[in-house]
Amino acid sequence: MDKLPKIVLPAVFLVILLVVLISKSTVTIDSGEAGVLYKQFGGGVVIDEPPMGEGFHFVAPWNKVFIYEVRQQELFEQMKVLSSNGLEIQIDASAWYEPVYAKLGVLHQSLGENYLDRVIKPAIRSAARSVVGRYTPEQLYSSKRDAIQDEIYAETKLILEKQNVQLNEVLVRDVTLPNTIKEAIERKLRQEQESLEYEFRLVTAKKEAEKVTIEAQGKADANRILSASLTDKILQDKGIDATLELAKSPNSKIVVVGSGDSGLPLILGNN
């Protein structure tokens, strides 16, 4: 009985030591994550091998594993930048990004886990200042939002590619101008719209007047041609034809009593 505690205590100690070693020697990487191995006695960060993928891994207890999210992530930024004429503009933008998987070790070695603040935010702010500085507030408000979105994306992507970060998209959600500038732009746009509507009405009225003139001129020309073609002989023939047609009517009684001044027969009487 006296020897039992002497055997149990070392056994318990060994079990505890084994549990600690196992806990220090294993790592579980969740979905959407990857691990960067740091070898305490083997050259530091491993950059010449692929990152550790999802699942359960054994590592030496003296080594470390730094876990990164490798799924697409979103950064939302509100930035105050200057337009081409020096007015302050607020840009609300979102950036979709993710680390370059194959270069995760290099990213960890050069920038570390805080790469978002160290490189992504400065890059998108720098690109936004550069791009917005090319445009006037009126352009930003009315027609250039898609253009600045594409240009901010292109400039930010160029910066981040050198930092082992993949930029997938930049979305400009809102462009906020000072109220006085916004009101002035809206007033100008309304005036331009009213001017365009007035010009349209003038053009429409002019075309309508031209149409009426052309129609009247056509009728006048037709009447002139008709008048020129109606000689006395043609009129007399027309009169004879009309008289003959009238004579054929069953409701008429024809009595010829001579001729009128025009030389045409006279018809009197009805049934």
Tell me: the pLDDT tens digits for 130-159? 999 988 887 877 667 788 899 999 999 999
> What are φ and ψ of residue 182, in 5° steps?
-60, -45
Predicted local distance difference test score (pLDDT) of residue 116? 95
Predicted local distance difference test score (pLDDT) of residue 174? 86
Predicted local distance difference test score (pLDDT) of residue 255? 47
Q: Rounded to the nearest 10 degrees, what angle do helices 145-161 and 121-132 cross at?
A: 140
- The answer to whether 54 touches 68, Cβ cutoff 8 Å, is no
Could you state, in chain order, the average pLDDT of each consecutive group of 10 residues for the chain (271 residues)?
58 63 78 93 89 89 92 94 86 94 94 94 94 85 80 94 94 82 65 67 78 80 69 62 64 51 53 50
Predicted local distance difference test score (pLDDT) of residue 257? 45
Number of H helices, E strands in the chain: 8, 8
Q: Where are the beta strands (DSSP E) in the chain?
A: 26-29, 33-39, 44-45, 55-58, 64-69, 73-82, 88-99, 165-176
Domain boundaries, the chain: 19-69, 73-182, 235-271
- The predicted model scores a pTM of 0.61
Predicted local distance difference test score (pLDDT) of residue 208? 80
The CATH classification number of 73-182 equals: 3.30.479.30
Predicted local distance difference test score (pLDDT) of residue 1? 46
How are beta strands 88-99 and 165-176 bridged, if at all? antiparallel
Cβ burial 185-196 (10 Å sphere, 16+ → b, else e): beeeeeeeeeee
Predicted local distance difference test score (pLDDT) of residue 129? 92
